[in-house]
Chains A and B, each alone.
Chain A
Amino acid sequence: AQSVTQLDSQVPVFEEAPVELRCNYSSSVSVYLFWYVQYPNQGLQLLLKYLSGSTLVESINGFEAEFNKSQTSFHLRKPSVHISDTAEYFCAVTSSNTGKLIFGQGTTLQVKP
């Protein structure tokens, strides 16, 4: 069975500081990995995804994540955060033979001025 663990429930950080949100997964089959972001009182939006090819994937707003197969991780990073990045972030995994997403517990990123 697949599972996803987000190692931090809350990450407080000051504006313009770097941040890393950690995600580990377990799966016996090939996987596709996603990061979703949820702003307050809104639905989830896709931030970035790993399908195949380059293990480093980037989003349009400066986030990046690296797929590490040996460590079964897909950590999310940003070199300099903004107040507007305050949100909850979810890591998710799916395999090609199910289509169902398995979500982690979520990490709340709190950016302080």
Chain B
Amino acid sequence: NAGVTQTPKFQVLKTGQSMTLQCAQDMNHNSMYWYRQDPGMGLRLIYYSASEGTTDKGEVPNGYNVSRLNKREFSLRLESAAPSQTSVYFCASSEASQRVYEQYFGPGTRLTVT
């Protein structure tokens, strides 16, 4: 099992450009999440998807959109990138049928917006 995979690993954008971060999991998990990690702030939830076909906002959703394409894939889109979106982005998944939502993380995407 590959677990949670993310593409790309690194990306540099100019202000105003758009891009989509891809995430896929092969653990048959129902729930998937997108976080951003910034120094001194831990991880903050951007969006999550409790199950296929549903998405909900997290703590910092502004400037982002998501798509739960199917049970395996959950993408994050930046429509018009801003320097404040320079960050490391992590995707995670968990099995919602268990009472405890232990999350498994991907390796991350390092995004720089100039």
The chain A residues found within 8 Å of chain B, CB to CB, are 4, 6, 9, 32, 34, 36, 42-46, 49, 51, 90, 94, 96, 99-101, 103-106
Total CB contacts across the A-B interface at under 8 A: 56
The chain B residues found within 8 Å of chain A, CB to CB, are 4, 31, 33, 40-45, 48, 50, 58, 90, 92, 94, 96, 99-108
25 of the cross-chain contacts (CB-CB < 8 Å) are: A4-B42, A34-B102, A42-B107, A43-B105, A43-B107, A44-B90, A44-B105, A45-B105, A46-B102, A49-B100, A49-B102, A90-B42, A96-B100, A99-B31, A99-B50, A100-B33, A100-B45, A100-B101, A101-B45, A101-B101, A101-B103, A103-B42, A103-B43, A105-B41, A105-B42
Known: A46-B102, A99-B31. A106 touches B90 (CB 8 A): no
